[in-house]
A = this chain, B = another copy of it.
């Protein structure tokens, strides 16, 4: 009984209109596991880092009760590194550097203690590694969530399509949903993507919220309007981690719980963008999370008498 999260654990150097950072800890599995840890206490990560990754950084996971047995540390090698600069609108960014390092030949190892996992989040990584992870689990988890990005649609579309057949939920942004389906209308895009395999599709729209689709229904979640988006890095991974962490906590997969999970994921993501990197989501209190959820309720509720 656990939630396994596979993804990058990395260093990022980020520049936004508000400032810039040196190398700070980032990566999809980092954001997602921290977010999930606020809802569920059996989060386990799979990833790889070099020996430049500090013990204190790994300790941050442990402090959050996150199991790091599946985090390989490669002696004499360097961690994955990404540097990027966001434009003024925060919706577009330039990649300044991408050093794969340990990620180049990453072969995920699933520790024996991870084998009973019921929830699996495949954070953004090559579709081949995402698929291998599913295949290395002896029992299919109850729920598999896959996050991916346009890059894999460009360079590994067939692998991605194979992997999509194996998952329950896909999370992508609106441009990616359009690219993957070839449809501009998100309703039509959702129909086509659900026909590719996933039972549920979540389309992340950043400041415009998120849409959750199954084959018949659609739910529209708002984004919290913020006075300042300080750094959008990791918001999507934080969303995915909050989403699956909440579902692992409630334990029942149905559309109503998925809707709430989208709200919890959105709430965590709204914290993420308030500071650089993982700074804001590292030290949240349960009270802060609950109070943010209440803001989402206030933001979107209305009562129309029939």
> Which of A's residues lie within 8 Å of B, judged by CB?
88-90, 184-188, 205, 207-209, 211, 217-223, 225-229, 256, 259-260, 263, 290, 293, 297-304, 306
Contacts and interface: CB of A to CB of B under 8 A. Distances in A.
A283 B217 CA distance: 27
A301 B207 CA distance: 19
B226 A185 contact: yes
B88 A184 contact: yes
Nearest to A17: B184
A302 B260 contact: yes
Contact of A220 (B188, B259, B263, B299): B299
6 contacts: A89-B184, A186-B225, A187-B225, A209-B209, A218-B225, A256-B303
Given A184-B88, A184-B89, A185-B227, A263 B304 contact: yes
A227 B187 contact: yes
Contacts of A184: 88-90
B222 A263 contact: no
Contacts of A228: 185
A221 B217 CA distance: 18
Given A188-B227, A209-B208, A211-B225, A304 B299 contact: no
A124 to B, nearest CB: 24
Contacts of A225: 186-187, 211, 218, 220
Given A187-B225, A301-B301, 14 more contacts: A89-B184, A90-B184, A185-B226, A186-B225, A187-B227, A188-B227, A209-B220, A217-B298, A219-B300, A220-B222, A221-B302, A222-B222, A222-B300, A263-B304
Contacts of A205: 208
A238 to B, nearest CB: 19
A229 B263 contact: no
A302 B256 contact: yes
Contact of A299 (B218, B260, B293): B218
Contacts of A217: 298
